[in-house]
Amino acid sequence: MIRIFAFLMLWFISFANAQNDTLFNNGTESYNQGDYNKAIEHYLKILENGEHSAELYYNLGNSYYKLNQIAPSIYYYEKALLLKPNDPEIENNLGYAQNMTLDAIETMPETGLSKIYSTIVSVLSFDQWGYTAVILMMLFVILYIAFYYLKYATHKRIAFITGMLCLFLAITAAIIAFMSYGDFKADQPAIIFSDEVIIKSEPNARSQEVFRLHEGTKIHVLEEFNDWKKIRIVDGQTGWLASENIKLLKDF
């Protein structure tokens, strides 16, 4: 009975993967033929099946960009970057899409240490830093064992020094993974989908207008109150907007 169940599970997984591959290929074919709406339809079905990837989000971003739909194109490019940080192709296309937005917001300058930290952490995603830490720790164990079995003093010295270096790098990678994960959980980016949004000073429609934002602008959610969200933009300004105007990027 258990074998039959396991076989059925494997068959179902294989069938689902084959179906998603077919949808992806059909979407790519529709895109190449210039039928971008059809391509989007195929790609969204893959998401409905519970599958997602940087390549899928990237293709969705491209399809919406071809239709001049600013917010969805930026939204899916940003989601692709969450799964594949620092990818030059995704960043390049995202830049083109962002040029179509109305809001020109200057980014707050980072301090020296903050810039160094951001540069190091952004090299890999937090799970990639974690995998790196595990691999380096395995190398340390192998070199530690080799240290006892090697005959020559020179070889022992090389194994010891290299092992200690791997241990140090493994601990460093683990710390960065932990800090990066904390930053990832604390940061809640979103994209504005409404044509224009009035940002309020308080979470109610009667409060004073602080500033306005437009479709495609990226914001960061700080807190939530009923159907309102407090947001911050890259120049440091904060305010409240109705939740219906935005889509969170980390919804997977």
Per-residue pLDDT tens over the stretch 79-118: 999 988 889 999 999 999 999 999 988 877 767 777 888 8
Taking alpha carbons only, the member of 251, 240, 237, 245 closest to residue 107 is 237
C-alpha span between 74 and 64 (Å, rounded): 9
DSSP 244: G
Q: Are 248 and 221 in contact (CB under 8 A)?
A: yes
Q: How confident is the model at residue 122 (pLDDT cuts 50, 70, 90)?
A: confident
In the predicted model, what is the mean pLDDT of residues 42-70? 95
Buried b (16+ CB within 10 A) or exposed e, 125-160: bbeebbebbeebbebbeebeebbeebeeeeeeeebe
Lowest mean pLDDT: which of 69-78, 122-131, 167-176, 227-236? 122-131
Please state the domain extents for the chain: 2-98, 112-186, 189-248
In angstroms and rounded to an integer, the radius of gyration of the C-alpha atoms of the chain is 24
pLDDT at 12: 42
Q: Which CATH class is domain 189-248?
A: mainly beta
Q: Which two tokens stand for residue 50?
A: 């519970």
Question: Which residues lie across from 228 on neighbouring strands?
Answer: 225, 242
| CB burial of residue 183 (10 Å; 0-12, 13-18, 19+) | middle
| CB burial of residue 214 (10 Å; 0-12, 13-18, 19+) | middle
Q: pLDDT over 70 for what percent of the chain?
A: 92
| CB burial of residue 174 (10 Å; 0-12, 13-18, 19+) | middle
| pTM for this model (two decimals) | 0.78
Domain formed by 2-98, architecture: Alpha Horseshoe (1.25)
Round the average pLDDT of the chain to a whole number and report it. 90
pLDDT at 124: 84
Can you list the alpha helix ranges (DSSP code H) found in 187-232? none
